[in-house]
Amino acid sequence: EPVELVVGMRTSVVKPIGVYVADAKGWFEEEGVKVTFEKQDKPAQGYISVEENQFDLYLFAATPMASDTVKGVDNLMVVGGSISEGTEIIGKIGSQKLVNIEDFVGGKKYACLKTETGQVMLKDALVKGGYTINVDPEKDTTAADATFVFMADTAAMIAAVKAGEVDYAITNAGYGFSKAAKNELEVSGYVAQLTENGTYACCRQVTSKETIADKRAGLVGFYVAQLRGYQYFLNEANKEEIGNILSTWTEQPAAELIGQLYGSDTYTPSTIVTVDPQTKATVSLFEAMENAKLVAANDIDWTQYIDTSIYSEALQILQDREPNEQLWKDLRAEFEANN
């Protein structure tokens, strides 16, 4: 009998590429898993659904896990990743380019989303660099080297940039590919170069301790199928098919999604698709949330909330199945370095 898994999915953005491909190809069934997808576009609620064991997995965002764990939730576990990086800082055409840490300060004002990870890592880098940040200008009128304003969605952030209410919007999900230009805006900078390792974790794939105990074989099968989907994605000969698969999950046209993920002559994707749980980068992200003033001070050992064994076992199955496949060897080396 196949193991049944309920997986929470967003439809406004596409991140866990291998999952969409595996579903379209029927590979979950081949790996002994029956997957039911449930729509949940609000990440905070997606994490609550995992905590309450309504979802077996949620594949988007990361900050709600740290927030909930600091508040006392003790059953969430990172078991994989959907992407790393992905942040694009959008400004008016001709705005100052943001490269070195000094470029990001001087009283600049940023619009951002609370669950977006790039804004966490930017705040952390500024604090570690000795700069002051204001994360709640409505309540705190103190001048700072950089000010951050949370907004409801990307549309609100872009409107604020165009109106001159903020200098930049911290976006994600490939916004810079074509949407920026349509709004007479452009990509002004990125965040990765400011971080300690030159990269950072973004959307994590999270389950509960109960699901690991009760459905571990199903989770392993899920990751075997997802890794097969990732392998298929990496072959650019499949990108037209990939675009069509992804467009069934979101209202975005296939050509838009292909550009966001594979790039073009004028656009280099900021999103790095990865399934690896990336323990080191995930811990860095959760620790950065304290400097970003998104969680209370804490001494949590975040490694206790990351289970790398499921991904590792799934990868080993594929290595044994296809011993000459270079991708599996490369992913094993990356796994050893990342965890």
Query: What pLDDT does 178 receive?
Result: 81
Q: C-alpha distances in angstroms, 266 versus 177, 181, 238?
A: 9, 12, 21
Query: What pLDDT does 173 receive?
Result: 86
**How confident is the prediction along the chain (339 residues), in pLDDT tens digits per residue?**
999 999 999 998 899 999 999 999 999 999 999 999 999 999 999 999 999 999 999 999 999 999 999 999 999 999 999 999 999 999 999 999 999 999 999 999 999 999 999 999 999 999 999 999 999 999 999 999 999 999 999 999 999 999 999 999 999 989 999 889 999 999 999 999 999 889 999 999 999 999 999 999 999 999 999 999 999 999 999 999 999 999 999 889 999 999 999 999 999 999 999 999 999 999 999 999 999 999 999 999 999 999 999 999 999 999 999 999 999 999 999 999 999
- Contact between residue 243 and residue 53 where contact means Cβ atoms under 8 Å apart: no
The Cα angle at residue 30 between residues 25 and 33, in degrees rounded to 5: 100
Q: What's the distance, CA 173 to chain centroid?
A: 9
Query: What pLDDT does 35 receive?
Result: 98
Dig out the tokens for 272 from the structure: 């790095």
Residue 312: closest CA among 78, 80, 27, 83: 80
Dig out the tokens for 201 from the structure: 């974790």
| Residue listed under structure tokens 């009283």 | 107
Q: 239-247 vs 17-25: helix axis angle to the nearest 10?
A: 90
User: CA 152, CA 292: separation in Å to the nearest integer?
Assistant: 18
Sign of CA pseudo-dihedral 173, 177, 181, 182: negative
Q: C-alpha distances in angstroms, 31 versus 65, 227, 230, 272, 314?
A: 28, 11, 15, 25, 10
User: CA 185, CA 33: separation in Å to the nearest integer?
Assistant: 44
Query: What pLDDT does 284 receive?
Result: 97
Query: What pLDDT does 324 receive?
Result: 98
**Which DSSP string do the residues of 221-253 spell out, in sequence order?**
HHHHHHHHHHHHHH-GGGHHHHHHHHHTTSSS-
Residue 246: closest CA among 24, 8, 57: 24
**Which DSSP string do the residues of 120-146 spell out, in sequence order?**
HHHHHHHHHTT--EES-TTT-----SE
